[in-house]
């Protein structure tokens, strides 16, 4: 299949260079049948490529038929509005010819999915459709989602087994339920990522070190709150996608990887240059399309690979100088460049660029030789109590020297332990300060915002809150901040009056702060015994509502169920996120070794292939 793609790409190049239009005479007659000149063209190109004339003629005829088919489709679209969609099926059902589907663009995504399922023999609830690297939304019209005439649509089958769809009704029902469960699982995992992104700051860095956003040294990076959630979502989706990549569940991995790409695009360019995650994601997306045998659907594969190369350069420095300066070596990161060169070689081969493909694949092979690890050396490190992952990473960082690798791993463990202790201490102090402000009656959100403005200084944060009492209203959505009272309790009013405040002012302050005596007293004392003007207006505009005791609440069971579901969703995410910060650099390179050999055999056979007539 790969060799045929190369021949198609090469012949397409020749046709463009010679400005030959196969759908016109003398290559196509008035009945749209093949013309006599096509055979002469096939001989010319077979001589040029030094390959079989019959094979070249067959491929040129396929290109001619597709051109005529495309032209007919264009005419029909102009006349009737019926668009043609090029459907790429999963490998087990894919045919040599393109799978074309006629449809109107005012139908919904669900209707298109039904049509594809019926036409190509899928169970409707078992497939996902991706167009322009976005999952098709079932409830919206195609034209609203940017679907146009001649667009490419990739079909992913969620089914893990490759067995044909069984006709037995009971089995079909079971399989449909399995597909629905898998879809619910994906949505639950995405919800878990949302929860993690919202709560990451409150988690213990020792129990969840993999949720820290750190640079190459392992130090946490300060990120504006406006971008932190987007980056957490991007990295979370990426890690989940990578987990499925490792299990070779590419059809499930791809939606997570594409969502990660979307969230990364919400982050500023400077931030993406600080960490290498974005570059690694580009490689993972192209790799996933390749393993799905759907590279034809990724029109910007070259752009993504070039972007990855540029990001690596910005992050690691020219010739990896910055990386070597920070880590002392770049051996582990060479794994990323091996995959980059391999994918660039594959893309060039599929595009008909044999020489460029050979150059990139040769670079990938050379890196593989450098990165190959003797299993006996891994075993030696295992005997010392290190993990297989630590052994591979350590050996690559130390050019295969076992003694140096053992020292490197030990030093790295100690260094990371020190960094984590320091980061844990910083987070502990931050949580203590947040809790201290919460103990004074402020909400978690208000405490966080004040501490952020005060660069973590508790005294300054308190002054900020006292100077801006309206920040108290930046409350959490818990019941304690929504407990309005028709009138403050008399004992609370008496406390404020005993402190020397006017009765009416005390009542107004307690209404503003919903009965919180401490906050009311602090604010009145800070403002000379009266409420600030903006809070006075708030008192006048507010409409108190009856308080609700916990015993009267009718949603306790439901709230508990929701919390359990959220916990389950988060745990499902955490179980797949690796604890080792360099997990993405660890690879046995078994797949890469086979693919390099396969594609090198293709490019080496281009010139050596015997001419057959």
Token pair listed for 64: 């001619």
Residue 327 and residue 216 in contact, taking contact as beta carbons nearer than 8 Å: yes
Over 335-386, what HEC string results?
A: HHHHHHHHHHHHHHHHCCCHHHHHHHHHHHHHHHHHHCCCHHHHHHHHHCCC
Enumerate residues 6+ apart whose C-beta is below 8 A from 154.
88, 129, 130, 131, 292, 294, 297
pLDDT of res. 549: 41
Percent of the chain exceeding pLDDT 90 equals 35
141 DSSP 8-state letter: B
For residue 220, what are the β-bridge partners?
214
The pLDDT tens digits for 490-515 are 888 888 888 888 888 888 888 877 78
Bigger pLDDT: 545 vs 529: 529
3-class SS at 593? Answer: helix
β-pairing, 134-135 vs 127-131, is: antiparallel
Residue 85 and residue 37 in contact, taking contact as beta carbons nearer than 8 Å: no
Enumerate residues 6+ apart whose C-beta is below 8 A from 189.
240, 256, 569, 572, 573
* Burial of residue 563, with CB atoms counted within 10 A of its CB: 0-12 exposed, 13-18 middle, 19 or more buried: exposed
pLDDT band at 552 (very low <50, low <70, confident <90, very high): very low
Whole-model pTM above 0.85?
A: no
* Burial of residue 329, with CB atoms counted within 10 A of its CB: 0-12 exposed, 13-18 middle, 19 or more buried: middle
pLDDT band at 112 (very low <50, low <70, confident <90, very high): very high
Residue 295 and residue 347 in contact, taking contact as beta carbons nearer than 8 Å: yes
pLDDT band at 35 (very low <50, low <70, confident <90, very high): confident
The pLDDT tens digits for 118-133 are 998 888 888 999 998 8
Residue 281 and residue 257 in contact, taking contact as beta carbons nearer than 8 Å: yes
Closest residue by Cα to residue 511 from 491, 530, 536, 528: 536
The pLDDT tens digits for 295-315 are 888 888 999 999 999 988 888
Bigger pLDDT: 246 vs 225: 246
pLDDT of res. 209: 42
For residue 129, what are the β-bridge partners?
155
Chain-centre distance for alpha carbon 344: 21
Closest residue by Cα to residue 395 from 419, 418, 370, 416: 370
The pLDDT tens digits for 153-177 are 999 887 644 344 444 444 445 555 5
pLDDT of res. 95: 58
The pLDDT tens digits for 5-24 are 899 999 999 999 999 999 99
When mean pLDDT is compared across 315-319, 363-367, 412-416, 431-435, the lowest value belongs to 315-319
Bigger pLDDT: 334 vs 550: 334
β-pairing, 83-88 vs 152-157, is: parallel
pLDDT of res. 31: 87
Alpha-carbon span 45 to 12, nearest angstrom? 11
């Amino acid at each position: 299949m790969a060799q045929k793609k190369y021949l198609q790409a090469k012949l397409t190049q020749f046709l463009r260079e010679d400005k030959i239009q196969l759908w016109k005479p003398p290559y196509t007659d008035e009945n749209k049948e093949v013309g006599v000149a096509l055979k002469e063209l096939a001989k010319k190109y077979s001589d040029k490529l030094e390959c079989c004339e019959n094979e070249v003629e067959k491929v040129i005829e396929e290109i001619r038929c597709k051109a005529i088919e495309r032209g007919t489709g264009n005419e029909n679209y102009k006349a009737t509005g019926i668009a043609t969609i090029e459907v790429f099926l999963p490998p087990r059902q894919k045919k040599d010819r393109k799978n074309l589907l006629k449809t109107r663009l005012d139908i919904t995504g669900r209707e298109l999915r039904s049509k594809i399922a019926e036409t190509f023999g899928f169970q409707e609830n078992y497939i996902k459709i991706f167009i322009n690297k976005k999952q098709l939304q079932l409830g919206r019209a195609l034209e609203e989602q940017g679907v146009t005439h001649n667009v490419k649509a990739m079909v992913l089958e969620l089914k893990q087994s490759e067995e044909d769809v069984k006709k037995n009704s009971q089995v079909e029902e079971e399989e449909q339920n399995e597909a629905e469960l898998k879809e619910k699982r994906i949505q639950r995992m995405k919800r878990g990522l949302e929860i993690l992104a919202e709560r990451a700051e409150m988690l213990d860095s020792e129990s969840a070190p993999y949720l820290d956003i750190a640079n190459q040294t392992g130090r946490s990076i300060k990120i504006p709150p406006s971008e932190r959630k987007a980056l957490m979502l991007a990295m979370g989706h990426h890690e989940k996608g990578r987990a499925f990549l490792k299990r070779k569940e590419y059809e499930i991995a791809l939606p997570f990887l594409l969502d990660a790409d979307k969230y990364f695009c919400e982050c500023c360019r400077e931030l993406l240059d600080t960490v290498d995650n974005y570059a690694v994601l580009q490689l993972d997306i192209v790799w996933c399309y390749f393993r799905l045998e759907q590279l034809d659907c990724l029109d910007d594969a070259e752009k993504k690979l070039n972007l990855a190369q540029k990001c690596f350069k910005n992050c690691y420095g020219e010739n990896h100088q910055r990386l070597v300066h920070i880590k002392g070596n770049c051996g582990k990161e060479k794994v990323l460049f091996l995959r980059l060169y391999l994918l660039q070689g594959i893309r060039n081969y599929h595009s008909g660029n044999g020489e460029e493909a050979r150059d990139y694949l040769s670079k990938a092979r050379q890196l593989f030789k450098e990165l190959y690890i003797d299993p006996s050396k891994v075993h030696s490190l295992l005997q010392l109590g290190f993990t297989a992952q630590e052994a591979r990473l350590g050996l690559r960082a130390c050019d295969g020297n076992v003694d140096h690798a053992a020292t490197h791993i030990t030093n790295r463990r100690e260094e990371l332990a020190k960094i984590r202790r320091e980061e844990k201490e910083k987070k502990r102090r931050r949580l203590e300060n947040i809790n201290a402000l919460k103990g004074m009656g402020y909400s978690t959100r208000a405490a966080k915002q004040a501490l952020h403005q005060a660069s973590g200084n508790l005294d300054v944060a308190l002054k900020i809150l006292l100077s801006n009492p309206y920040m108290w209203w930046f409350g959490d959505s818990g019941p304690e901040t929504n407990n309005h009272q028709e009138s403050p309790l008399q004992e609370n009013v008496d406390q404020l009056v005993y402190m020397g405040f006017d009765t009416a002012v005390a009542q107004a302050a307690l209404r503003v702060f919903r009965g919180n005596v401490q906050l009311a007293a602090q604010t009145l004392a800070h403002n000379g015994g009266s409420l600030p003007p903006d809070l006075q207006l708030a008192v006048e505009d507010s409409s108190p509502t009856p308080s609700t005791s916990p015993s009267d609440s009718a949603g306790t069971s439901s709230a508990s169920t929701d919390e359990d579901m959220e916990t389950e969703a988060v745990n499902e995410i955490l179980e797949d996120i690796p604890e080792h910060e360099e997990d993405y650099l660890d690879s046995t390179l078994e797949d890469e070794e086979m693919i390099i050999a396969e594609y090198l055999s293709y490019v080496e056979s281009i010139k050596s292939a015997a001419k057959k007539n």
